[in-house]
Chains A and B, each alone.
Chain A
């Protein structure tokens, strides 16, 4: 075994004294792994001074035991065999550091996620494997070297990407704690999807009435700089020291001169039968303001339809319009990043689901929101698209694009409540309307939501457990939905004047772009992935980058706002301290061995390597410690600290053994 060789190599420095702590994690590990057998085996390995079993090594008592053992037994290496380093390595590193051991002399072995949880019914196999995993760890621990993490200053500014309600909340909270915020929004106004909604559950208060003042508050806050109609195109750097490049798309007018008075829009002769804000319903001009409550309330030109007639230029009293405007870029120095890039609603058109795209009178929830909205294209009068007449029989179909193996298997969580809300609004406005909700399960958790559902039942809204198996249209353009009601075991042919598809949330392409720029992990549902589903719900695995709201997965408004605040709190920790610690893992070169061949130089994606007088020069501040250059070095002159060849090869060697364990 390697340990003997190791011992001789390290002898001149100090005697190795490894303490191994095997965690039972209640029965999470002990249920499959005989932890005492592992500890007994480990105690026979060279350099192991002590080897003990804890019920919960990460608990206060467990950590106290580690610290006590370090002091009493003069340990200089600590190994914990428990769960994943992704969540617990920082905890144990801090623990050993408090007891005077360099945090990089700590070795973590995963015997839960990688052993007990995946071999739940093979106890013998799991125990043998755990012994081997810990043996590999002991071999590596013997070769670990102390490293210093460096303290870096943090630029006192945050970048918030996406100015929906979550991003606005995050920006306001960070700004109110006294820090500079750049709030970047790809659309021409802040506000996000919530600005388009009519009313919001469970209080049925008008969405823009509660959002509008918040939008104004964001605009008025001296610490917040809104960059609307702008996109993040590049982000470099690391926690505390990010550099972001922002593209400002041309509005074709000077945003500082425009007052949003609307004279230009009045005079513009070009009209298209499409409005972004109204989900395509209604018409707008080639020069327009996005919506009446927009922040900033500034116009923009749709160059794809503008005929360059100059009418708007003549109409503008402030001379704000500049048809030659080009896109511009700004470079920002920032310390932390919060991503609140929102969502798209599912598009049922490509597959013509439930007749959407085939029949005029099948619409989506977002279209319905604009139709029933008092400031929408119909001034809040609900009419159906085919003949602009008020519908008397309306049905909502739940789980369109959600909980469906053919599109997205996840539940979008807000759609049940959204349909209950829209059904109630219809009943309030037009009491004699027949309203149906066709569902699989009604999901109404959280305060006042179940009560809200009961209220809908009491209002006479009809619930059919089953979704249309077939949708057709008759000569009056009425929709015929054929449904199996699984509560009554009957086939129902429901004739409706208007059918609304309760479409779920999907991760937008723009979010994917931002995700790739930042290198945040993607979850199976396509949204961004948090560092831990319970303990770190708004952190990412990248220091200094946080995610909130729909960016992290479908959720409703209260939950989104909570996450906005959570992101602000998590991010501001760095800004308030003004410093952050960076990993000590970097590449080092042995100049005596390096022949200056330069093979490694193009391997580095961060330009940390260069040749100077035929010798390699490393700019350690730029090195992120991936080790790709090390694997490319033909002479062995390069080494990645903490992942040195001898450390990795000791692990490899100790996967195997001769004879019985």
Chain B
């Protein structure tokens, strides 16, 4: 295999109703993105457990994205509000672990916002590229 530029590995947790649809809409609109992101679908962003996020970092993620419906638009009334609370806790924890803040992002993306999804991936990938591989990444993992 030819030597290619390093691309970060980003794990994106997306809710079934909004941000997963946003990723779909990005595809339908052919909004090109770097091949950095792996989407994991959950029904609601409220299902995203800090455990999942920590696990992703420990397995080798260079960044983790927590995404869901805009506040007020949650398919399950207010699951995303609970996500927001958990996210604050996650942010603090990761800071204490010494991870750069740009490795964790929270974003609300509706099913129609394909371009927003693509811009988000482009921006985060560029930032994480500058940071380089995550210090938590186990040796030898791609």
Chain A positions near chain B (C-beta within 8 angstroms)? 84-86, 110, 112-115, 117-122, 124-126, 128-129, 132-133, 136, 516, 519, 521-524, 529, 541-542, 585, 603, 605-606, 624-628, 630-632, 640, 643, 645, 648-649, 651-653, 655-660
Contacts and interface: CB of A to CB of B under 8 A. Distances in A.
A524 B109 CA distance: 11
A645 B82 contact: no
Contacts of B34: 125
Contacts of A129: 35, 38
12 contacts: A117-B28, A118-B30, A129-B35, A521-B21, A522-B112, A605-B79, A625-B43, A631-B49, A640-B47, A648-B42, A652-B55, A652-B56
Contact of B79 (A120, A126, A628): A628
Given A118-B33, A658-B142, A653 B59 contact: yes
A118 B142 contact: no
A160 B63 CA distance: 46
Nearest to B21: A86
Contacts of B79: 605, 626, 628
A605 B35 contact: no
B52 interface: yes
A122 B7 CA distance: 13
A358 B29 CA distance: 41
B97 interface: no
Contact of A113 (B17, B27, B49, B59): B27
Nearest to B116: A524
Contacts of A523: 112
Given A120-B32, A125-B7, A656-B141, A86 B110 contact: no
A168 to B, nearest CB: 28
A628 B7 contact: no
A628 B76 contact: yes
Contacts of B49: 630-631, 645
A632 B73 CA distance: 21
B44 A628 contact: yes
Give the residue among A516, A603, A655, A657 with the most B Cβ atoms within 10 A: A655
A126 B43 contact: no
A519 B112 contact: no
B35 A125 contact: yes
Closest 10 CB pairs of A and B: A113-B27, A628-B46, A627-B47, A605-B77, A626-B44, A125-B35, A626-B76, A117-B27, A631-B49, A656-B60
Interface string B1-39: 100100101010000011011011111101111110011
Given A519-B73, A631-B48, A655 B31 contact: no
A643 B47 contact: yes
A118 B27 contact: yes
Contacts of B110: 521-522
Given A119-B32, A655-B11, A624 B76 contact: yes
B24 A84 contact: yes
B61 interface: yes
A124 B1 CA distance: 10
Given A114-B24, A519-B73, A655-B60, 10 more contacts: A86-B24, A122-B35, A516-B73, A603-B82, A605-B78, A624-B76, A628-B46, A649-B55, A652-B40, A655-B38
A593 to B, nearest CB: 15
A529 B22 CA distance: 12
B76 A605 contact: yes
B61 to A, nearest CB: 7
A516 B77 CA distance: 9
B131 to A, nearest CB: 18
Contact of B73 (A522, A628, A653): A522
A606 B79 CA distance: 11
A118 B32 contact: yes
A521 B22 CA distance: 11
Given A605-B77, A605-B79, A521 B59 contact: no
Contacts of A85: 41
A651 B40 contact: yes
Contacts of A658: 140-142
A626 B46 contact: yes
B118 interface: yes
Nearest to A583: B43
A136 B56 CA distance: 13
A117 to B, nearest CB: 4
Nearest to B51: A645
B59 A655 contact: yes
Given A521-B18, A529-B111, A660-B1, A626 B40 contact: no
A119 B35 contact: yes
Given A626-B79, A627-B44, A529 B112 contact: yes
Contacts of A626: 43-44, 46-47, 75-76, 79
Contacts of B77: 519, 605-606
B35 A136 contact: no
Contacts of B44: 626-628
B114 to A, nearest CB: 9
Contacts of B40: 136, 648, 651-652
B39 A627 contact: no
Nearest to A521: B111
B46 A603 contact: yes
Contacts of A136: 38, 40
B113 interface: yes
B59 A656 contact: yes
A113 B28 contact: yes
Nearest to B111: A521
A514 to B, nearest CB: 13
B132 interface: no
A628 B86 CA distance: 11
